């Protein structure tokens, strides 16, 4: 049985965790993400995966794209600047009377440029709670990396950069896929490339085709090419976000591999970022939000 169930329901994946207070006890995963489900399919999908955890009234708190307009129920965005920890959750009606489901609203920005997040606001609540009212910049690398300026317990502003999705799309779909296969890595080539586009971001798209030509003409290793592409993209992202991180305290919260890449890149610029695992911040965030 569960005290409550933490649910991270994204576009392409569903992950549920049986919780005892703030502690995860067991996690189950499914590929039944938001984009595979009609609105009335969310409840049976959750029951399929969590069924034996539910014995009597059960609190379920979900974050992510599950709260989008095309999700289970729309959880209307809060607008920055707004509290990092806010207990205004969206309650979802269920057919099964044992379920007490709430969804964490996403956060939007109207000015100085339009932006949205769903899911990362929960990790930010976890960061602010875990680091005792952290002041600085949270970098949440992933498919759509978020940079959030946090001050006085508020999300002041944020910026999304599509670095992860661009890397996946270019290595998976473009002509470079022939030269960048596998999952190898070349740390020195990565750091050189970060430095290149951080200082000359205008070269990002011009440098990409070199990866194909270097393979054709010099047999450049795929591992080197992948690391260079990643470095070029992250370097360009750091150039775009320099006003955010320069001279600030930075915390990075992502999967292990992407966190390491961003940490290495920022450390090479003289920063000393704190690293917090994404799943722990999701649990910490959901736990603080259910009591907020």
CB of 203 to a second copy, least distance (A): 5
Q: How far is the CB of 45 from a second copy (least distance, A)?
A: 22
Say whether residue 206 binds a second copy (CB under 8 A).
Answer: yes
Residue selected from 233, 251, 278, 281 as contacting a second copy according to rule CB under 8 A: 233
Site for a second copy in 4-43 (CB under 8 A): none
Q: Is position 115 an interface residue for a second copy (rule: CB under 8 A)?
A: yes
Cα gap 25→46, rounded to integer Å = 17
CA distance 74 to 42: 13
196 contacts 232 by C-beta, under 8 angstroms = yes
| Span from 55-63, 133-141, 154-162, 183-191 in contact with a second copy (CB under 8 A) | 154-162
Give the interface size with a second copy as a residue count (CB under 8 A): 45
**CB of 85 closer than 8 Å to CB of 129:** yes
Q: Contact between 155 and a second copy (CB under 8 A)? A: no
Secondary structure element (H or E) that encloses residue 58, with its range: strand 58-63
Q: Give CA–CA dist 120/141, Å, rounded.
A: 10
- Are the C-beta atoms of residues 171 and 226 closer than 8 Å to each other? yes
For tokens 């890149």, name the residue: 265
Kindly state whether residue 195 participates in binding a second copy, applying the rule CB under 8 A. Answer: no
Give the residues lining the site for a second copy (CB under 8 A): 108-110, 113-116, 144, 159-163, 165-166, 169-170, 172-176, 201-210, 212-214, 216-218, 233, 236-237, 239-242
């Amino acid at each position: 049985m569960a005290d409550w169930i933490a649910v991270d329901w994204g576009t392409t994946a569903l992950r549920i965790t049986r919780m005892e207070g703030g502690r995860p006890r067991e996690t189950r995963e499914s590929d039944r993400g938001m984009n595979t489900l009609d609105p009335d399919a969310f409840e049976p999908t959750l029951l399929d995966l969590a069924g034996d955890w539910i014995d009597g009234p059960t609190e379920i708190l979900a974050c992510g794209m599950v709260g989008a307009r095309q999700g289970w129920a729309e959880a209307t965005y809060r607008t920055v600047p707004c509290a990092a920890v806010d207990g205004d959750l969206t309650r979802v009606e269920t057919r099964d009377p044992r379920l007490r489901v709430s969804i964490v609203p996403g956060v939007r920005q109207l000015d100085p440029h339009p932006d949205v997040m769903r899911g990362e606001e929960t990790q930010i609540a976890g960061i602010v709670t875990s680091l005792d009212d952290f002041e600085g910049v949270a970098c949440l690398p992933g498919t759509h990396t978020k940079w959030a300026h946090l001050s006085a317990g508020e999300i002041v502003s944020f910026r999304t950069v599509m670095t992860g999705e661009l890397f996946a799309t270019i290595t998976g779909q473009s002509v470079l896929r022939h030269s960048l296969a596998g999952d190898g890595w070349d740390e020195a080539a990565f750091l050189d490339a970060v430095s290149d586009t951080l200082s000359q971001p205008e070269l990002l798209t011009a440098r990409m085709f070199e990866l194909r030509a270097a393979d054709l003409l010099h047999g450049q290793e795929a591992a080197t090419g992948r690391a260079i592409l990643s470095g070029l993209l992250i370097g360009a992202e750091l150039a775009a976000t320099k006003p955010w991180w320069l001279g600030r305290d930075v915390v990075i919260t992502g999967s292990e591999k992407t966190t390491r890449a961003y940490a290495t890149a920022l450390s090479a610029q003289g920063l000393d970022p704190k690293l917090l695992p994404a799943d722990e911040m999701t649990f910490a965030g959901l736990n603080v939000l259910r009591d907020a």
